[in-house]
Protein backbone atom coordinates (compact mmCIF):
# COMPACT_ATOMS: atom_id res chain seq x y z
CA UNK A 1 0.00 0.00 0.00
CA UNK A 2 1.37 3.40 -0.92
CA UNK A 3 1.50 6.35 1.45
CA UNK A 4 -1.07 8.03 -0.77
CA UNK A 5 -3.45 5.05 -0.55
CA UNK A 6 -3.10 4.88 3.23
CA UNK A 7 -3.55 8.64 3.57
CA UNK A 8 -6.75 8.44 1.53
CA UNK A 9 -8.04 5.54 3.66
CA UNK A 10 -7.30 7.49 6.85
CA UNK A 11 -8.53 10.86 5.52
CA UNK A 12 -5.19 12.57 6.10
CA UNK A 13 -2.59 14.16 3.87
CA UNK A 14 0.11 11.93 2.40
CA UNK A 15 2.79 14.13 4.00
CA UNK A 16 1.34 13.26 7.44
CA UNK A 17 1.84 9.55 6.74
CA UNK A 18 5.35 10.28 5.49
CA UNK A 19 6.21 12.20 8.66
CA UNK A 20 4.99 9.31 10.81
CA UNK A 21 7.01 6.85 8.74
CA UNK A 22 10.28 8.77 9.18
CA UNK A 23 9.64 9.54 12.86
CA UNK A 24 8.96 13.27 12.54
CA UNK A 25 5.41 12.96 13.84
CA UNK A 26 3.90 10.80 16.56
CA UNK A 27 0.25 9.94 15.97
CA UNK A 28 -2.31 9.87 18.76
CA UNK A 29 -3.83 6.57 19.82
CA UNK A 30 -7.03 7.43 17.99
CA UNK A 31 -5.04 8.16 14.80
CA UNK A 32 -3.20 4.83 15.22
CA UNK A 33 -6.61 3.14 15.31
CA UNK A 34 -7.56 4.93 12.09
CA UNK A 35 -4.29 3.87 10.48
CA UNK A 36 -4.97 0.27 11.54
CA UNK A 37 -8.38 0.49 9.88
CA UNK A 38 -6.72 1.85 6.73
CA UNK A 39 -4.20 -1.00 6.79
CA UNK A 40 -6.97 -3.49 7.54
CA UNK A 41 -5.15 -4.86 10.59
CA UNK A 42 -6.08 -4.97 14.26
CA UNK A 43 -4.39 -2.63 16.73
CA UNK A 44 -2.95 -5.69 18.50
CA UNK A 45 -1.32 -6.84 15.24
CA UNK A 46 -0.01 -3.32 14.70
CA UNK A 47 1.60 -3.23 18.13
CA UNK A 48 3.09 -6.70 17.60
CA UNK A 49 4.84 -5.27 14.53
CA UNK A 50 5.99 -2.27 16.59
CA UNK A 51 7.39 -4.64 19.22
CA UNK A 52 9.36 -6.58 16.59
CA UNK A 53 10.81 -3.31 15.29
CA UNK A 54 11.63 -2.16 18.83
CA UNK A 55 13.47 -5.39 19.64
CA UNK A 56 15.42 -5.22 16.38
CA UNK A 57 16.53 -1.64 17.02
CA UNK A 58 17.48 -2.50 20.59
CA UNK A 59 19.53 -5.48 19.34
CA UNK A 60 21.33 -3.31 16.77
CA UNK A 61 22.08 -0.62 19.35
CA UNK A 62 23.57 -3.18 21.75
CA UNK A 63 25.97 -4.64 19.19
Please give the residue range of the domain that contains residue 41.
3-62
Contacts of 36 (CB under 8 A, 6+ apart): 42, 43, 45, 46
* Cα 44 off chain centre by: 12
pLDDT of residue 63: 86
How many separate domains does the chain show? 1
pLDDT tens, residue by residue, 5-62: 999 999 999 999 999 999 999 999 999 999 999 999 999 999 999 999 999 999 999 9
CATH number at residue 51: 1.10.260.40
Amino acid sequence: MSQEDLAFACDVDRSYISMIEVGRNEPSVSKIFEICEGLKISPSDFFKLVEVEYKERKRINNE
